[in-house]
Amino acid sequence: MTKYLIKRVLHGLLSIVVVVAIVMIIIYSLMDRNLIFKNDNTYSHLKNNSKEIYKYSKWEEYGYIDFVTYADYLLMLTSSGEIDEETRSSVVGIGRTADKDSENVRKYVEQFSEYYISKGYTVKRIDAVMMNAKKVADGGQPQLFAYKNLSLLSRLWSYFSKIITIDNIHYAEEVKGERGITFTLFDPVYGGKKFSPAIIGNGTKHKYLLYFDSKFPYIHQNIITINLGTSYSVNQGIDVFETMTRSQGSYVKSLVTYPTGLQEESADDLHTATYVKGSLETSLVFKDRFMDDYTNVSTKKSSLSKVGFSFVIGILASLLAYFVGVPLGITMAKRKDKLLDKIGTIYIVFIIAVPTLAYIFLFKAIGGKLGLPTTFDMESSKKLMYVLPIVSLALPQIASLMKWIRRYMIDQMNLDYVKFARSGGLSEGEIFTKHILKNAAIPIVHGIPGTILFAMTGAIITERVYVVPGAGNLLIEAIGQYDNGVIVGVTLFYALLTVVSIILGDVLITMVDPRISFTSKDR
Amino acid sequence: MQSIDLNQFGLSEEELFSRVDHNELDSEKIMAPRYSYWNSVFRVFFRKKLNIALLSILALILAFAYIYPLFAEYDKFGNLLDASAKHLSPSAAIKKFGFSIHWILGTGAAGQSTFDAIWFGSRISISLAMVCGVINLTIGVIMGAIWGFSKKIDIVMMEVYNILANVPYILIVAVLVMILTSSFWTLVLAMTITGWLGIAYFIRTQVVIIRNREYNLASRCLGTPLLKIAMRNILPFMTSVIVTLAATEIPSYISMEVFLGFIGMGLSEMSLGRLIYEAESAMVTPGWEFEFWSPVVIASIITVVLYVVGQNLADASDPRTHM
């Protein structure tokens, strides 16, 4: 069984890689790159050559190309010590056209071109745009840069190699004090007096590698982080995984003691501190509060995350659906062709045939008439606002459960073993609960892990109609804003859920039904 | 034939026998009752009064969607400048314009007739569903039959299915709409490019169930090509399954179109989905609800009628109901 499961998991992971590759081909090769500038005000205000540079740098941000300007190249040479600062500043300005370059500049321009052409880049030089003989037009400075389209393989490799990162003490470039990991029983965030074990790193990306706090699941770690891809427009610079799991809503302020001893009412969560190179020196605000470069902290917010909202609503809706749908389906099968069965069938037809949108609006209108809140408000603590989204999600699930349970039960009722049991003298009730129900439940059990896991992804229409701040709209939002990182990340997340839920479903039915086995040995 | 006076022989009418001569020609004919599959299907189908009623509703819908627009003059922006013509309830619209069929559902945001807009939209939505249905079912059924029948193809296709089923459908639609324009045929392409896979998978499962029956084995032994076995031996077995599929698929394309329209990725033409999308804000405005609910209700009626007619036709196409 274990061997079989490992095989299945590996197979699943392989198909996930292919799915991600297909999605990457779709969004990076098939889609027009210029579309990302459609709603970009900066782009439409820029002129001439600076517009061109902006275009290429944005493409690099969105992951289409690798892009290096001549100035960047010189900076790189300076930091590696090949040339000194003086040479750099003397050769950084290129001439208006190629033949107006000075001798020295020409040398470095040639070096730049040779270096990047040999690495497969395309080197492009745009001459200055002149207003008149002397004056350069707005944004018309001459530009020299190299770019390369990323290949699918290198893109896939760089994406998958970054998904799971393990923090190490050599992450930070410059650190105060010695690199290393210290273990303390008294977490300094709580003033260093309260007993609360923590592991603190110096030189790592995260300052707190392991800590306890009052939030579920109480123990948190930052050693292994998951990166599904960085967002550019939906949630700038933030990873997709964080976008989905970070709490939302208004700030929760509490008295925070900063490393310098300063106490302040703030929403900063010091446990999330990450390293930003040289940040301490850049602002007085940081200098007042922090002792080192671990200044980037996220804030505490009052509400659940996107996935949190979707999951709470989704899981409650599924529970409701199983508690209502399964008994109803059983009763329908028991009283086949009677009144209840007919009403149930009409309901099932209604749910299947009527567009989802139509009945969700119908539920909303009915709910509104009954006085239930029809829009979701993150800040309010009213539990009633959960009712309509949950019911709207549960009603179609109930219909589908009713349909399948009824179908499977009726199929089982006509089998020989039921007739045998009846001739053996078992009561109808016994046959129903002990034999038919058990057999009919097997295909239903297979779907349970999927129901639970996919509760996290949220429902597009329900969340839109009731304004739930959940994860359902993330993909559509990302597509609408051409946020490639988010599209790939969300696809990977969905594909992973599918693979895991099918495997878990298979495991579950082998546990429920001893006749089913996936290994040839047991058969 | 000459008439014989029965009383002459003392016989009553019941006791009369007439002689039938042996006819060489008649003995060559096989006299079994004529059986036609589709005749029986329709006999069973029309036995239910409900089906006749539903079919007439369907005919009415199709007439309104396809014939009515030929005669009605509909200009969405005809009343654009008339501020008092916008967002009218049916009674207010009839009061303003006088009674005519155009105004019985009130007016929309641009002062246009909701009734006309709905039928122009229905034409596009129903056509889309029909075209997608025909394409997806044809490709899906043929591919599914081959997929289920050949074990080699099965291995490859299962992989393809597992992978493509995981590519978000909305992404495919969005990208196609972006590359091409959001026209009718783009949406057809978007809905069919992977849409047939689900149908093919369903058919494959059905085929796997019946492919190993003896008559198929015999057919293979006699050297019938794979395609012919799939088309002649297996598909006729599954007529009712295919009709059931069509009954669920075609309304689902209308629902899909409405959904895509609602999230802003649908057609640029005024389909039902786009109509609902544009009227969404009217739903929460008191007094304007009518222009939102009318297209929603009509869309629901269309899908329900299509679905129920299809399901009943599927029931009738199962030979076991032909007794």
User: Chunked in runs of 10, what are the mean pLDDT values of chain A (523 residues)?
Assistant: 86 89 85 79 83 86 84 85 81 79 83 88 84 78 86 85 84 80 82 81 85 81 83 77 82 83 83 82 83 83 85 92 92 87 91 86 86 80 85 92 88 86 88 86 87 85 86 84 85 88 88 75 47
Query: Cα dist. A517→A4, A324, A445, A508, B158 in Å?
Result: 10, 31, 15, 11, 20
How much of chain B exceeds pLDDT 70, in percent?
92
Residues 6+ apart with CB under 8 A from A304: A247, A248, A312
Residue of B nearest to A483 (CA): B171
Spatial contact of A43 and A51, defined as CB atoms under 8 Å apart: yes
pLDDT at A522: 47
Residue ranges of domains in chain A: 43-150, 164-226+253-299, 306-481
Q: Does B62 have pLDDT greater than 60?
A: yes
In a 10 Å sphere around its CB, with 0-12 CB exposed, 13-18 middle and 19+ buried, how is residue B1 labelled?
exposed
Residues of B in contact with A354 (CB under 8 A): 255, 300, 303-304
Instruction: Write out the two tokens for A194.
Output: 């309260």
Q: Rounded to the nearest 10 degrees, how much is the dihedral formed by the CA atoms of A309, A312, A317, A319?
A: 170
Q: In this predicted complex, what is the ipTM? A: 0.77
Residue that wins the pLDDT comparison between B282 and B187? B187
Strands A224-226 and A208-212: unpaired
Mutate to test the interface with A, among B167, B193, B245 (most CBs of A within 10 A): B167
- Amino acid code (one letter) for B305: V
Residues 6+ apart with CB under 8 A from B133: B246, B249, B250, B253
User: How many Cβ atoms are within 10 Å of A309's Cβ, its own excluded?
Assistant: 23
Buried b (16+ CB within 10 A) or exposed e, A459-486: bbbbbbbbebbbbbbbbbebbbbbbbbb
Residue among A352, A361, A498 whose CB faces B166 most closely: A498
Instruction: Write out the two tokens for A352.
Output: 């299947």
User: How many Cβ atoms are within 10 Å of B16's Cβ, its own excluded?
Assistant: 10
Interface of A with B (CB under 8 A): 15-16, 18-19, 22-23, 26-27, 30-32, 35, 349-350, 352-359, 361, 460-461, 464, 475-476, 479-480, 487, 490-491, 494-495, 498
Mutate to test the interface with B, among A34, A354, A374 (most CBs of B within 10 A): A354
Residues of B in contact with A464 (CB under 8 A): 262-263
| Cα angle: B61, vertex B62, B64; to 5 degrees | 65
pLDDT at B13: 65
Instruction: Write out the two tokens for A173.
Output: 């470039």
pLDDT at B16: 66
Query: Cα dist. A390→A353, A358, A394, A448, B65 in Å?
Result: 21, 17, 6, 18, 36
Residue of B nearest to A26 (CA): B175
CA B141 to chain A, closest CA, distance in angstroms equals 22
Are residues B162 and A15, on separate chains, in Cβ contact within 8 Å?
yes
Among candidate residues B137, B180, B170, B132, the one with its CA nearest the CA of residue B261: B170
CA B33 to chain A, closest CA, distance in angstroms equals 33
Side-chain half-sphere exposure of A417, counting CA atoms within 13 A: 8
Q: What is the DSSP string of A430-451?
A: HIIIIIIHHHHHHHHHHTHHHH
Task: Spell out the alpha helix ranges (H) of A354-483.
Answer: 356-369, 387-413, 416-423, 428-430, 437-446, 448-454, 460-465, 474-480
- Amino acid code (one letter) for A142: P
Domain A306-481 has CATH 3.10.20.30: no
Instruction: Write out the two tokens for B239.
Output: 């007529």
CA A9 to chain B, closest CA, distance in angstroms equals 13
Mutate to test the interface with B, among A457, A479, A493 (most CBs of B within 10 A): A479
Spatial contact of A150 and A63, defined as CB atoms under 8 Å apart: yes
Q: Please state, in angstroms and rounded to a whole number, the distance separating the CA atoms of residues B199 and B165.
A: 12
Residue range B173-181: mean pLDDT, rounded:
78
- Amino acid code (one letter) for A427: S
pLDDT at B14: 65
Highest mean pLDDT among A322-326, B99-103, B213-217: A322-326
Residue among A349, A357, A498 whose CB faces B307 most closely: A349
pLDDT at B137: 94
**B303 close contact with A: CB closer than 8 A:** yes
CA A344 to chain B, closest CA, distance in angstroms equals 15
Residue of A nearest to B301 (CA): A354
**B172 close contact with A: CB closer than 8 A:** yes
**B155 close contact with A: CB closer than 8 A:** no
Q: Please state, in angstroms and rounded to a whole number, the distance separating the CA atoms of residues A508 and A511.
A: 5
**Count of A–B CB contacts within 8 Å?**
101
* Phi, psi dihedral angles at A298 (to 5 degrees): -95, 170
**B54 close contact with A: CB closer than 8 A:** no
Are residues A32 and B168, on separate chains, in Cβ contact within 8 Å?
no
User: Domains of chain B (ranges plus CATH)?
Assistant: 125-321 (1.10.3720.10)
| B7-56 pLDDT per residue, tens | 676 666 666 677 777 877 777 777 777 778 888 888 888 888 889 999 99
Residues of A in contact with B254 (CB under 8 A): 355
Residues of B in contact with A352 (CB under 8 A): 248, 251, 307
Task: Spell out the alpha helix ranges (H) of A295-338.
Answer: 306-334
CA torsion sign for A11, A14, A18, A24 is: positive
**Window 203-262 of B, Cβ < 8 Å to A:** 248, 251, 254-255, 258-259, 262
**B165 close contact with A: CB closer than 8 A:** yes
| Cα angle: B50, vertex B53, B55; to 5 degrees | 105
pLDDT at B1: 47
Among candidate residues A428, A432, A438, A363, the one with its CA nearest the CA of residue A395: A363
CA A522 to chain B, closest CA, distance in angstroms equals 23
CA B304 to chain A, closest CA, distance in angstroms equals 5
CA A177 to chain B, closest CA, distance in angstroms equals 49
Q: Please state, in angstroms and rounded to a whole number, the distance separating the CA atoms of residues A21 and B48.
A: 53
* A77: Cα separation from own chain's centroid: 37
